Structure 1
Amino acid sequence: MSKYVVKCPRCEEVQDPYALHCENDDALLRTEYSKKQIETSDMPGIWRYIDWLPVNGIIEEGTGRPVTYKSEGFAKELGLNDLNITFNGYWPEKGAFIRTCSFKDLESFPTMQRLIERDEERIMVVASAGNTARAFAHVASITGQKLLLIVPKNSMHRLWTTDDDTSSICTVTVEGDYYQAIAMAEKIAAKEGFVSEGGARNVARRDGMATVMLDAVLTTGSLPQHYFQAVGSGTGGISAWEASMRLLEDGRFGNNMPRLHLAQNLPCAPLYSLWTGIELTGRCPEEMHDDVLYNRKPPYSASGGVKDALDDTNGMIYGITNKEAEDAQKLFEETEGIDILPAPGVACAALIKAVETGEINADDSIVLNITGGGQKRLEEDFTTKQLDVGLTVSPEDPDAEKKILEKISEFFNEGGC
């Protein structure tokens, strides 16, 4: 029997293992692993969960992984007795070594490993608001895989790296938002010689993110009652749900499906609007505490998407203001002793709100996903540098695609943007 199959959860037909879509419907394809009880390996980083990753080999330099620990300071401030924090970032004192300081590393390494296993020579195209691009740039620097990053111009400050060799990475910025970057990337990825990383429909990305829940449960020994995370597309929430289903089937960690508590940053919160029916107005993403959480077209209603995950877990979505996020981020940093990125500050604010409204009780078991942190701590140990920008285009420019293709040809034929 093969290690895994990729199936459509709606029609239940087995698909090509590298497929992104079902021919029969819009469902998000899902992996089914032959090993129903996970065993951690002695491999480094994320690869300790290789039983439930859709890969056969590893990228040995990928030594970062989620690290779960029981909170004392933040938990005490909130009056919680069983708050477990899963930290995704750089905090060597806790054994956390994600060099990009973002849980997007959990997606990029298994995705890249699958490309390697396919002997893929096409240029991978990644659209990002910053953190995903940084993660894919890191793994591409390690492997030498040709990579085209397409990001909003205003997100370039997030495209830093600690790697010396970035010669396989060409970066294009778009004078627009994340969705416009995605649209441009889709046009380029559809052309010969390019391959898309797949976004939310890529099972390697989702199963990589699912290691957050795996780490939490294998560390604590049981499935939590509640799971908190800030989301843009909601894919991280879907991943936690899918991991929980596998852990329930495993049978050793209880029979409780964790309740998803997903958080978005007001006023730019499409998932919150879809879930609550509340229409929001504002300048997006300019008015956000963290614009990485803004995705205009999230996978909400697709089978196996965000709505299904929320329905199945009795979940909910919180709308968090900038001030709530800023205050929560500051409180977390003061009580836990590590800096975090703005997005997990939104998740911290949702947890505070859930305590205040009685959605959770003091003795409930809770996992809080800190999706990024330790950048200030990283800068004590490493020198960071910005990625070079090869080209900036306007989404309104009818020649934008042509200009990008010309720049890519120049970059990979002449050795630089």
Structure 2
Amino acid sequence: MEKYTATCLHCGERHDPYSLSCRNGDDALLRTIYSSSRLNCADLPGIWRYREWLPVRGMIEEGSGRTVTYKSTAFASALGLEDLWIAFNGYWPEKDARMMTCTFKDLESFPTMQRLRELGDTGVMVVASAGNTARAFSHVCSITGQPLLLVVPEGSAHRLWTTHEDTSAVCLATVEGDYFDAISLAGRIASMDGFVNEGGARNVARRDGMGTVMLDAVLTAGSLPDHYFQAVGSGTGGISAWEASIRLIGDGRFGSKLPRLHLAQNIPCAPLYSLWHGKDAVSTSCPGEMYDDVLFNRKPPYGTRGGVRDALEATRGTIYAISNDEASGAQSLFEAEENIDINPAAAVAVAALVQAVRKGSVLPEDRIVLNITGGGQKRLMQDLPVRLMKPSVRVSANDPNAERTIITTVQSMFGVRI
């Protein structure tokens, strides 16, 4: 019996487990249907604890971390909350949190990489990123030796640090342009022979990997929460939390009510907020002037069947617009109360929770999960040597020869014929 199948959310047809889209051309996400409706955790390291609900057969043991959930006391008290659970993704040795890239994008990269190995595709993986996803895929590919082409906006290259001495499996291409320019260029290259498109939001391995945040939180707390808070760029993390909650309801042990999704974006560059509320919250200067521009994506999977809109409607959710000042204040408050540094994107989620408390959108006794999508970076850099990755090639988004320039560099680095 197959461990899982991939089912189209529009037509209901079941597809090959490695499919990224419906063969009937439906503009809908595929969702994994696991043969086991009950989650049994394995005695395995990192994210592989949840392997039963991950679309893989094997695992990459080295370097894998997982979410660590704990009940907040200090920060919860500061907000007047009685049942606040922190889902921490990052580096915090005292809590056994050991994501070596300090971002929950590790939860996407490891199952995606394992799935690619099982598929037997030996092409060069292509990933577009504003920084955190690139760091996560660089981490796993440095472990496995899988050739990787990262396409990153030039302004985000400072986020490409690593704890690995050998990053020869990674070709870093920086683009003079924004994240959408990087996505467009990467998409064109990934469609060529010799390259592998990892699939983005359509890749069930990425979504189910991120869904383990909810799995860990619920197994630790003992039941599904009333509310779930997370900062989002594309919104895929919100979709993942929704899908994981559906599976947990099907398990039968953790409650029967979907958590309400509280997704947060950073103004003045908040496309999902604009779409959900029908307000213009996207400046012409985007992604400039943001507290964290990793939260900006011009083309999020909003109206796609199974996308962000469906997740919000199903959970009675909402999206917050968080200013830079709100994010900065929330970051200072959280770090002072919890005694760990957090990434700016995570601070946007914290600010959304502060805003929700102030408005009375959550009650003091409600069970709340706050996803700290990245943290402990300052702590890691105190404990371990890190180095900034150097670009292998630089191009302009307006250069008609940009693709050829990158491909030539890939051929030279990896000795492949494309």
Distance 2:165 2:401 in 1: 33
Q: TM-score, normalised by structure 1?
A: 0.98
Task: Tell me the secondary structure at the aligned position of residue 245 of structure 1.
Answer: helix
Which residue pairs with 1:136 in the alignment? 137
Does 2:341 match 1:343?
Answer: no
Which residue pairs with 2:119 in the alignment? 118
Aligned pairs for 1:230-309 within 5 A: 230-282=231-283, 283-309=285-311
1:46 touches 1:63 (CA, 8 Å); kept in 2? yes
Distance 2:308 2:75 in 1: 28
Distance 1:281 1:312 in 2: 26
Letter in 1 for 2:13: E
Letter in 2 for 1:19: S
The alignment yields a C-alpha RMSD, in angstroms, of 0.9
Which residue pairs with 1:22 in the alignment? 22
Letter in 2 for 1:269: A
Which residue pairs with 1:197 in the alignment? 198
Aligned pairs for 1:299-378 within 5 A: 299-378=301-380
Q: Which piece of structure 1 moves more, 89-98 or 278-287?
A: 278-287
In the TM superposition, residue 280 of structure 1 has moved relative to its aligned partner by: 2.5
In the TM superposition, residue 413 of structure 1 has moved relative to its aligned partner by: 2.4
Distance 2:114 2:390 in 1: 25
Which residue pairs with 1:407 in the alignment? 409
In the TM superposition, residue 197 of structure 1 has moved relative to its aligned partner by: 1.1
In the TM superposition, residue 147 of structure 1 has moved relative to its aligned partner by: 0.3
1:54 touches 1:204 (CA, 8 Å); kept in 2? yes
Task: Tell me the secondary structure at the aligned position of residue 314 of structure 2.
Answer: helix
1:44 touches 1:62 (CA, 8 Å); kept in 2? no
Distance 1:94 1:63 in 2: 16
Distance 2:317 2:63 in 1: 32
Q: Which piece of structure 1 moves more, 65-74 or 17-26?
A: 17-26
1:129 touches 1:152 (CA, 8 Å); kept in 2? yes
Distance 1:215 1:281 in 2: 34
Which residue pairs with 1:149 in the alignment? 150
| Structure 2 residue ranges without an equivalent (≥5) | none
Distance 1:44 1:63 in 2: 7
Spell out structure 1 runs of 4+ moving beyond 4 A.
none
Distance 1:17 1:355 in 2: 42
2:66 touches 2:107 (CA, 8 Å); kept in 1? yes
| Structure 1 residue ranges without an equivalent (≥5) | none
In the TM superposition, residue 119 of structure 1 has moved relative to its aligned partner by: 2.1
- Aligned residue pairs total 414
1:62 touches 1:109 (CA, 8 Å); kept in 2? no
2:273 touches 2:281 (CA, 8 Å); kept in 1? no
Which residue pairs with 1:13 in the alignment? 13
Does 2:60 match 1:59?
Answer: yes
1:341 touches 1:372 (CA, 8 Å); kept in 2? yes
1:128 touches 1:151 (CA, 8 Å); kept in 2? yes
Distance 1:237 1:318 in 2: 13
Distance 1:343 1:399 in 2: 34
What fraction of aligned residue pairs are identical, expressed as a percent? Answer: 64
Which residue pairs with 1:398 in the alignment? 400
Distance 2:221 2:8 in 1: 31
Task: Tell me the secondary structure at the aligned position of residue 330 of structure 1.
Answer: helix
Distance 1:67 1:395 in 2: 39
Letter in 2 for 1:410: S
Letter in 2 for 1:3: K
In the TM superposition, residue 281 of structure 1 has moved relative to its aligned partner by: 4.6
Which residue pairs with 1:76 in the alignment? 77
Distance 1:3 1:292 in 2: 34
2:270 touches 2:282 (CA, 8 Å); kept in 1? no
